[in-house]
Structure 1
């Protein structure tokens, strides 16, 4: 693993961006109505569709854009996970 500092920092920023997007997506439906479950299921479905496309066609690609998209997806799922713990406690 020979990461450059700029690539690592871009991945960390995109991970935090995904976490921020998850926070936005989890608070907007609760303000507008009771659409939280539907919105979360749509986001998770889109996440899985993007994963299927990326891992089907770009399986051995070392492209930085693919890593950034993957980090954003991980941040979104992690953000939903943390929000679920906040709601459960």
Structure 2
């Protein structure tokens, strides 16, 4: 059961990456702001993951980490699509 939830949260992060890379870039003015927001959220999630090892919130933290990994992976895929 946890494997399905982890894969679903990873794919949700990948979907969020596609949203974050296409919608703000339509105007061309929000690229720097959206990039800084994405980096800030990734760092806040990483700080929360690696500083707290509580057992009662472990599933939520693990899901946030999978979403974060999906966002980073999706942005790398988009960067490779733009580079080719």
Q: Give TM-score scaled by structure 2 length.
A: 0.87
- Structure 1: runs of 5+ lacking an equivalent: 1-5
Between Structure 1 and Structure 2, how many residues are aligned? 83
C-alpha distance in structure 2 between counterparts of 1:17 and 1:69, whole Å: 10
- In the TM superposition, what are the counterparts of 1:1-89 in structure 2 within 5 Å? 6-58=1-53, 61=55, 63-89=58-84
Q: Which moved more, 1:67-76 or 1:30-39?
A: 30-39
The runs of 4+ residues in structure 1 deviating greater than 3 Å are none
- Structure 2: runs of 5+ lacking an equivalent: none
C-alpha distance in structure 1 between counterparts of 2:78 and 2:32, whole Å: 13
CA contact (8 A) 2:11 2:67 kept: yes
Q: Give TM-score scaled by structure 1 length.
A: 0.82
